[in-house]
Structure 1
Amino acid sequence: MTVLSVASAQNLRESVAIVRPKLSENTQAFLTDFSKSLRKDGFYSAADILENYGKGSFGTGFAYRNKQDNRLYIITNRHVVEQAEWVDIEFSLPDNSSKRFADCPVIGVHDDFDIAFIALPQGAQVPTLEITDKAITDGTTVFTAGFPALAEKPSWQLGQGIVSNANALIESLTHNKELPLIQHTAQVDAGSSGGPLLVRNEQNPDRFTVIGINTWKAVDRENTNFAIPVRAIEDFFQNYPTDANTLLTQADVTRKATALLQATKSSYEAVMPFVSYQYVSNISANTFYDLVFAASDGATKAMESCFEQGSPLEGIRVGLADIICRQFSGKNYTFSTVANLDSIHKTADVTYATGDKTITTRWTLEQGRWRLMEAENVKASRIEANGISKSYGFGTSIYLGIVSPLNNAFDLSYSLAFKRTILTFMTYEISASLLKLNTEKKDWEGLNEIVVPSTRNAFDINFGLGGQLPVKCGPIYLVPYAKVMGGLYLGSDVSGIDYGLGAGVEVAYKFGYQNYVFANIGYLGKKMKPFDDQTYRLKSKMLSGLAFSIGVSF
């Protein structure tokens, strides 16, 4: 059993704190811009989540003094401090006064378990809690302490319940590590994350002892909450350094860079601890959509879950980890070199090699971990690789076009078309054209029937169905296509049906979610069949021409 200090019910609030993560200016700008883009594209719920996240969140933590270095820490959940390297700590005391510590560094997070460690300033005077890893049993009375939200502000709450499962094995919550969680019924609400799970001290019932860190709440069951046992705290201090300066070595960068290669052979979950939040902040709205389309089914579900739970940045991190995993796995990359280790900005460059090809990656020291912030083969500005695109597509696009004749059946025509994509590779469209048809009119000269050249105007309406093969080339898409069409043409003196085909190449530039500008060139051929050719000898003739159009999707 590990004993550090004690706290009674009366002074418990002196040891349990409100934890407010401080987002960097880059992250704030990212959240604001991203939220605006999502709202513009019609994703209002996701935009609200990002906007609310950017306004600031809070959780709970408790004071702990590590006997190995005698430093004072606040222990909380990793998800409470995601995207933050600095936090503000506030103790709301029983007399309604407050004790605050600003800009406290996040000195480390556990890669496998949802816990984080924050260093309080040297000389800070805060009573700590007693911690024990003594075995507990089902039915044990337990207490929760924290600051769940009330009217969007942290509000002190001391709850009571029982242990309903002392050894809950839920590997999806512990990254497949065999760490039995403590399932209990004491009150846990939004804002309680990171707070202590407590029992009465056996020697002094007026005092509390910490047995776990409250972390999860089941949304589909009543009174089902989960805490990480305190043995994870001991595991952190045994396996993770708390002094960042000891990590500023080529040896430590090499160790993490090599470990990434092993992680990519496993799964995106194994890669996530290597993805920096700075990498996340470099994602734009456009590349986020590419990220969603490119992610595997499992990663897509995990991203959706993160957004639903109010952790959008973790969702983006999942998508990045999935892409990194697939870009590295199967390529037989080997670690090559570490270069440009910058102890001031805490960055380093790492080169990997496969055959005669090398790629450069950039790493940063973040939350006490070397993490990937940029990779040459997974650019935040270009998630989808060049080649055949599976994410290309748009809701509705409008085109203005002209058709230049290749035979004498008609003069220059003008068209307006509306087109949509179906599952990337199919399209359908409705078009309207103004045609000037070249015909022959039967007339009489005295008693003799004569034929004279004539032109007639017609309004042509067509429905088209086509296929396309979009090929991504950097920010540009080259889209060869083919289509069949049919419809009616109507005029004051001529009318009939027409049908035909078209083929060509479209060039598209993407500037938003399903937003593109287009330039199109192709061949258009249609057979015109009149209903009545008694007066105008249109007969059945072929119209062929070179089609040019420009368009935009919205």
Structure 2
Amino acid sequence: MKRRIAVLGLILVTAIQHSFAQTNTMRDYVGIINQVYHPEVISFMEEIQADFEKSGNSDAVKSISYFLEGLSGTGFVYVAPDGSNYILTNYHVIAQAISLKVTFEKTDGTKTSYDNLAIVSIDEDIDLALLKFPAGVQPFAGGLTFNTTMLEDGTDVFSAGFPGMGNNALWQFGKGIVSNSSVRLPVSEDSTETRGPYIQHTAQVDPGNSGGPLLIAQPGAPGSYAVAGINTLKVLSRQAANYAIPSQTVLDFIGKSLAASRENEQELLEARVQAFMDGLTVPKAVYDHIAKFLSTDCVALNAKFAISELDDRGSKTVWNSIARAFSWNPVDGMRYAVGWLVEDSIRSKSGAIKISLDTIEKINDTEYSVSFDVSGNTVTSAWVKEFGIWRINTFGGFASGDKTLVEEKERLRTREDKLKTDYFLMLSAGYTQVFGTGPALNANISYRGNSTIWGVTVQYRGSDYMQTEFGFGAYMPIRLNGFAVMPLIKASVGFMKTEERDDSFDMNFGISAQGGVMFTTAAIPGLFLSAAYQYNFYLSTDYPSHLLLISLGYGFSRK
């Protein structure tokens, strides 16, 4: 019995060691993908990070630091027949990179990194990307091989990659089975259109596994495994429902990407432009559709202005949707915001988008000028060849990458911030013309609610005239370009004391009605000028009835 236990123990240890040996070998081909973002994206995110730092939000500061490190997913080595070295991954892993880095990590923690990987080709619909090592860098004599036979349900499969844990990407080698060898998934929850096919499986897939290989055991292959697909998504609402792009689809993508192009570029562009216009005709928001056609430069150079415009003019529904995308992946949020900016510029007041192609003119081999007729107006756009597909680089004057738009927006926002109209306490003093008796001085202290105002006003002219009142009313700020007009109405109750002809004093009670306007400017925040007419309804008709008040004051804001 002891001998059997010892033998079983030896078999178990040997199996574990063999498994680790295979996994370690697989590490040589599977790496961590780091994105290098556009400088404008980095600058914008650093501005946001600085704001969080000032407010003491250390968690947000750390999250942005983690984002700027560019940790995004997994990729694996493919070596072409001519010996060229490539990395295969998902498109969404590298969606906003201008260049990439791949890092391979051994079990002892030793890391080997390769910088400046170029994006050779992408397919947004399938969600694939092919990256190439820099010229002269060919560290791999061979890469992973592909299994091209159809998998059967129940087949053992393995996932390999670097899912995140906190701010770290950690190696993970999981095992499961094929639960549906060929499944098509709906494009969206409410759509009857499908995409695929995919391999549905139960091997462990977590955020960060995207772009990593789905493997089957194959003795003699590198690492003793062959690639059956590329892990691309999972359904969170279901248990162990993970999906991989089949290897044949991946091989077709590689073949198309590396084949010498014999296609007419203008015809490809025309088809791309038509697809862009077709997607604008649906009766719903189309910013997510437009976002798919935007170049990296277009997104990076216009994101700050687009988000500012969205904050000012966008609907709450769209803002919340894009904010959620931004919180999950800031660059996706930027892309959607610029998509919204383009949509907002071409959607008519009636809500319809009326667009047709006008002209296509070649600038050079990688750039075309495309003009559209948008509701009777000509809008010119620039399209560039990026990652093997045609994309919008500029669109009209609103998504042009013009930094002066941002600067002007910042100037106007600063001016608006300085224009104070949300006073909670107002102090003023000035001149009162009491018709029939002469001038007087006035002083006022008022408090303001949401749209109401109440306070005490005193009119005074030495010993022969004094009027003191408590008033309640409302005023409504109308903000214009750098200044504000605030119409004011007020009703008051109080008393008036005047000197009679026989040198005696008489006091009377009554009410008054007042209407006027206040003016303020951003040039001197808080300072205001007011002018008002007041009519007195007092018990004695001998008392002054008509007053004109001119005052200068200062309002205190809560911000």
| Global fold match (TM > 0.5) | yes
Contact 1:197 1:211 in 2 (8 A): yes
Alignment match of 1:120 (pick from 133, 138, 141): 133
Provide the identity percentage: 22
- Deviation string 1:255-294 (CA, Å, 9 cap, x unpaired) is 5455433333343332122122323333465752431454
Pair 55,523 (structure 1): closer, same or farther in 2 beyond 3 Å: farther
Larger Rg: 2
Aligned to 1:454: 465
**Aligned pairs for 1:105-254 within 5 A:** 105-121=118-134, 123-125=138-140, 127-132=142-147, 134-150=149-165, 152-166=167-181, 167=183, 169-172=185-188, 177-201=194-218, 207-219=224-236, 222-234=239-251, 236-237=253-254
Q: Secondary structure at 1:125's aligned position in 2?
A: coil
Alignment match of 1:464 (pick from 474, 478, 483): 474
Alignment match of 1:34 (pick from 48, 54, 57): 48
* CA apart distance, 1:395: 11
Unmatched 5+ stretches in structure 2: 1-20, 348-352, 410-415, 498-506
Alignment match of 1:101 (pick from 102, 111, 114): 114
Q: Secondary structure at 1:264's aligned position in 2?
A: coil
- Deviation string 1:485-542 (CA, Å, 9 cap, x unpaired) is 5577799999987665555787779xxxxxx968977764555678xx89x9867766
Q: Secondary structure at 1:33's aligned position in 2?
A: helix
- Structure-2 separation of matches of 1:149 and 1:549: 55
Does residue 56 (structure 1) correspond to residue 66 (structure 2)? The answer is no
Pair 142,486 (structure 1): closer, same or farther in 2 beyond 3 Å: farther
Q: Secondary structure at 2:333's aligned position in 1?
A: helix
- Structure-2 separation of matches of 1:529 and 1:263: 67
Contact 2:178 2:201 in 1 (8 A): yes
**Aligned pairs for 1:14-413 within 5 A:** 14-37=28-51, 49-65=63-79, 71-93=84-106, 96-121=109-134, 123-125=138-140, 127-132=142-147, 134-150=149-165, 152-166=167-181, 167=183, 169-172=185-188, 177-201=194-218, 207-219=224-236, 222-234=239-251, 236-237=253-254, 256-257=272-273, 259-266=275-282, 267-283=286-302, 287-292=306-311, 294-295=313-314, 299-309=318-328, 311-328=329-346, 330-338=353-361, 340-341=363-364, 349-354=369-374, 357-379=377-399, 397-398=422-423, 407-408=433-434
Pair 36,484 (structure 1): closer, same or farther in 2 beyond 3 Å: farther
Q: Secondary structure at 1:169's aligned position in 2?
A: strand
- Deviation string 1:361-397 (CA, Å, 9 cap, x unpaired) is 3444444443323333434666999xxxxxx999983
* CA apart distance, 1:204: 7.8
**Which structure features the higher share of helix residues?**
2
- Structure-2 separation of matches of 1:396 and 1:38: 27
Name the aligned partner's letter for residue 394 of structure 2: E
Contact 2:371 2:381 in 1 (8 A): yes
- Structure-1 separation of matches of 2:360 and 2:518: 48
* CA apart distance, 1:225: 3.3
- Structure-2 separation of matches of 1:248 and 1:412: 83
Pair 548,367 (structure 1): closer, same or farther in 2 beyond 3 Å: farther
- Deviation string 1:235-266 (CA, Å, 9 cap, x unpaired) is 544666788x9999666656545543333334
- Structure-2 separation of matches of 1:397 and 1:246: 65
Contact 1:63 1:129 in 2 (8 A): yes
- Structure-2 separation of matches of 1:491 and 1:187: 85
Contact 1:517 1:553 in 2 (8 A): no
TM-score (norm 1): 0.71
Name the aligned partner's letter for residue 437 of structure 1: Q
Contact 1:264 1:328 in 2 (8 A): no
- Deviation string 1:467-497 (CA, Å, 9 cap, x unpaired) is 75x67xxxx4787765555577799999987
- Structure-2 separation of matches of 1:459 and 1:45: 53
Name the aligned partner's letter for residue 36 of structure 2: K
* CA apart distance, 1:317: 1.0
Unmatched 5+ stretches in structure 1: 1-6, 386-391, 421-426, 442-451, 510-515
* CA apart distance, 1:454: 1.7
- Structure-2 separation of matches of 1:306 and 1:462: 47
Which deviates more from structure 2 when the two are superposed, residues 159-168 or residues 100-109?
159-168
- Deviation string 1:391-442 (CA, Å, 9 cap, x unpaired) is x99998348786876853775656777879xxxxxx6255767x44157x9x
Pair 221,259 (structure 1): closer, same or farther in 2 beyond 3 Å: closer
- Deviation string 1:48-74 (CA, Å, 9 cap, x unpaired) is 64443124324211122456x874321
Contact 1:85 1:367 in 2 (8 A): no
Contact 1:77 1:116 in 2 (8 A): yes
Pair 285,238 (structure 1): closer, same or farther in 2 beyond 3 Å: same
- Structure-1 separation of matches of 2:495 and 2:235: 65
Contact 1:38 1:285 in 2 (8 A): no
Contact 1:396 1:418 in 2 (8 A): no
Pair 411,218 (structure 1): closer, same or farther in 2 beyond 3 Å: farther
Name the aligned partner's letter for residue 474 of structure 2: G
Name the aligned partner's letter for residue 34 of structure 2: R
Pair 88,523 (structure 1): closer, same or farther in 2 beyond 3 Å: same
Q: Secondary structure at 1:172's aligned position in 2?
A: coil
Contact 1:411 1:436 in 2 (8 A): no
Contact 1:49 1:312 in 2 (8 A): no
Tell me how large the CA RMSD over aligned residues is: 5.1
* CA apart distance, 1:455: 3.8
The number of equivalent residue pairs is 504
* CA apart distance, 1:105: 0.6
* CA apart distance, 1:220: 5.1
- Deviation string 1:287-316 (CA, Å, 9 cap, x unpaired) is 52431454456644442332332x011012
- Structure-2 separation of matches of 1:242 and 1:406: 87
Name the aligned partner's letter for residue 41 of structure 2: T
* CA apart distance, 1:19: 1.0
**Aligned pairs for 1:485-504 within 5 A:** 485=490, 500-502=514-516
Contact 1:198 1:211 in 2 (8 A): yes
- Structure-2 separation of matches of 1:279 and 1:148: 30
Name the aligned partner's letter for residue 279 of structure 2: A
Contact 2:303 2:334 in 1 (8 A): no
Contact 2:185 2:194 in 1 (8 A): no
- Structure-2 separation of matches of 1:118 and 1:407: 81
Pair 14,278 (structure 1): closer, same or farther in 2 beyond 3 Å: same
- Deviation string 1:102-150 (CA, Å, 9 cap, x unpaired) is 2111223222233322112453415322334544454443211011234
